[in-house]
Amino acid sequence: MALQLAYFAWVRERMGCGEEQVEPPADVATASDLIAWLAARDDRGARAFAEPARIRVAIDGQMMGNDAALAGARDVALFPPVTGG
Amino acid sequence: MIRVVVQDAAIDFATETDRHDAGGHGATASFVGRVRGDDGVTQLFLEHHPQMTERGLADLAHAAADRWRLPALTLIHRVGAMAPGETIVLVLASSPHRAEALAACTFLIDRLKTDVMLWKRETLADGAARWVEPRTADQERAEGWD
CB B112 to CB A85 under 8 A? yes
Q: What CATH number is attached to the domain comprising A52?
A: 3.10.20.30
Candidate from A12, A58, A83 with C-beta closest to B52: A58
How many domains, in total, are found in chain A? 1
State residue A71 phi and psi, 5-degree precision: -55, 125
State residue A50 phi and psi, 5-degree precision: -65, -30
Residue-wise pLDDT for B37-89, tens only, equals 888 999 999 999 999 999 999 999 999 999 999 999 999 999 999 999 999 99
Residue-wise pLDDT for B86-143, tens only, equals 999 999 999 999 999 999 999 999 999 999 999 999 999 999 999 999 999 999 999 9
Domains of chain B: 2-143 (3.90.1170.40)
Residue-wise pLDDT for A68-78, tens only, equals 999 999 999 99
Domain that residue A52 falls in: 3-79
What average pLDDT does the structure give for chain A? 97
CB A8 to CB B134 under 8 A? no
**In chain A, what residues touch B109 (CB-CB under 8 Å)?**
85
Cα Rg of chain A (Å, integer)? 12
**In chain A, what residues touch B89 (CB-CB under 8 Å)?**
84-85
Q: How many residue contacts between A and B have a Cβ separation below 8 Å?
A: 68
